[in-house]
Each structure stands twice: as structure tokens, then as C-alpha cells.
Amino acid sequence: MRPNGSDNNHLPLTAQRRTRLVFNRISRHIGKLTKEPKSSDVHRFRTNSRRVEALVGEFAPESAKKEKLIQLLSKLRKKAGKLRDLDVQVSFLENLKIPDRQNHRAELLDSLNSERTRRSRKLPKSFDADTARTLRKRLRRASSTIEFDGVDPLNRALERLPKAHTIQLNEKSLHSFRIAAKSARYLAELAESADANSFVEELKKAQDAIGEWHDVLKLKEQAEKRFGRVHDSSLVAALNNIAHARFRRASNAAFEALANISRRHTVPPAESERRAGPVSSKSEATHTAAA
């Protein structure tokens, strides 16, 4: 029995079944990206590649073949991610209602649309027949090596999360928290219980808020490179204000998720803490945003 009283005998079977679904899905998405990809196909490949990376990284034995798979997935995911970011940025600017006397919004939108068109045509070349065949082969091999050995995926996911009182949230660490939260969420998705579902939902809400902030932050940085700082461009000033507001919202969402998870779940100690014993930690969470 788990500490909360639920039986975990079904977990390995559930985890194996859900792992097969993840690998089957990404194999389908690879085929769709060999042609002219839709935005939804790009996003699904990107999301499922992260799931595969989390599963292989956590449960497949260490080997050179494992590292080659992770490297290839990471390379292709980043290419897909650039196109996905452009889709989000274009959509955001199209719906941003601000005075544009300097024509900066329209100018940046034209530039992003041109870049999106270029990358849309280029992405299928990264998924040529040889690459797709190699990737599928490595995925099949990795899938066959994954072993859970009675591990509770939810407990493993809990181990991967930082504790609320030990983190300082600034722009860099908030984005890093989002990446860690994704990996933890993908591990918890292997389980099938009310506890796992609540864990996933808490992290997803935080991830969404952080993602909305990060998208605007990257767009603001692009606008700054082109038009200057807030006093030079009304577009940069507007994006800066939105980024500040979304940073505060995202930070609050991250702390709220960690607090709710901590109240509901008994968080296993990290491996280093199990070896060395309790470590006192004193840190103050700070909210900072780029000027």
C-alpha cells in the first residue's frame, strides 16, 4: 500500500500501457512532419518528444544508444519548437490591440510571418526518410528497454520537483522550473489514480501560466533588438508591461502548484538527502523581472 492507503500493484501495468501509447503517438507524428506540417502536428511532436525524453531518461538503462536517441530527439524538438514559437508570436501580435503609429507591430509581424513561412518549408527537410527511419528504429529499441521494476511513477515525479521554500524565482529559474515540471508531469501521467491526476492538473496550470509569460518575454526581446528599449517604442513598452504582469501571475501559479502538491502528497526526499540526511535550507523567494 502507498502512504495514502491506495494500492499500487496495478502501476507497472498501467505505466507500460501508457508508455506504449506515447511511443506509438510520436511515431505517427514523425510521419506527418515529413510533409508540409500543420501547426498542430508540430506542437504534438514537440510535446510527445519531451514525454519520450522523460521516460527514456528515467527508466531506460544507460547506454550510448540511449544518448544518441535523446540527442536526436532534442535536436528535432528544438527545430519544431522554433516553428511553434513563431506560430504563437504571430497569433499574439495579430490580436494585440495597441496604437501603432510607429508601425512597429506591423513591421515585426511581417518579419515573423516571413520567418514562419521559411521554417515551415525547411522543417520537413529535417525529417527526411533516412532521419525518420533512424529515429523510429531508435525509438523501438528504447521502448523495449524501459523497465519500471515496481516503481511508482507518481513518487518518482514528486522527487523531481523542487520544494517551494528552496527556490528563488527569477526569469531564468522560472523557465527552468517549467522544464522540470514538464518532466515530472510526464512521469506522473504514467500512473492512473486521483492523486496522479491532481498532480498533473496542478503542474499543467502552472506550466500554462509560465508558458504564456515566456512567449511574451521572447517576443519582447525580439522587439527590443529591432526597435530599442521601452522609451523608443510603444510596442516594446506594451510587451514589457504584459511580460511583467504575466511574470507575477506565473510566479504565483508556480508557488501555488507546489503548495497544493505539498499539502496533498507526501514528497519523498531527494536521493542526496536520503544519503546525507536532512539539510536545513533558508532561502527567500523573490520576484524579479527584466527592466
Task: Say whether 251 sits in a helix, a strand or coil.
Answer: helix
Element (H, E) at 148: none
> In angstroms, rounded to a whole number, what is the distance separating the alpha carbons of residues 102 and 56?
49
Q: Cell 492512473 sits at which residue?
A: 192
The pLDDT of residue 289: 34
* pLDDT confidence of residue 16: 86
Q: What are the b/e assignments for 51-75, b being 16+ CB within 10 Å?
A: bbbbbbebbbeeeeebeebbebbee
Report yes or no: 54 and 92 within 8 Å, Cβ to Cβ.
Answer: no
Rounded to whole angstroms, how far apart are CA atoms 184 and 51? 10
Distance CA 210, CA 215 (A): 9
Q: CA-to-CA distance for 76 and 16, rounded, in angstroms?
A: 25
Provide the grid cell at 227: 526597435
Single-letter code of the amino acid located at 107:
E
The one-letter code for the residue type at 136 is R
What is the pTM assigned to this prediction?
0.81
Residue 78 has a pLDDT of: 93
Q: Say which amino acid occupies 201.
A: E
Q: Where does the chain have alpha helices with state H?
A: 11-33, 39-59, 64-95, 104-126, 129-145, 153-159, 171-188, 194-227, 234-264, 271-276
DSSP tag of 47:
H
- Could you give the CA distance from residue 273 to residue 139 in angstroms, rounded to a whole number? 34
Cα torsion 115, 119, 120, 123 to 10°: value is: -170
Element housing 169 (H / E)? none
Report whether 72 contacts 105 (CB < 8 A): no
Q: What is the pLDDT of residue 283?
A: 33
One-letter amino acid identity for 134? T
Residue 12: what pLDDT?
61
For residue range 124-168, list pLDDT tens digits in order.
999 999 999 999 999 999 999 998 887 889 999 999 888 777 777
Residue 290 in 3-state DSSP? Answer: coil
Residue 266 confidence (pLDDT): 66
- Cell numbers at 262, concatenated: 505539498
- Given a cut of 50, the residues of the chain with pLDDT beneath it are 1-10, 270-291
pLDDT at 24: 92
Give the model's pLDDT for residue 13: 66
pLDDT of residue 173: 87
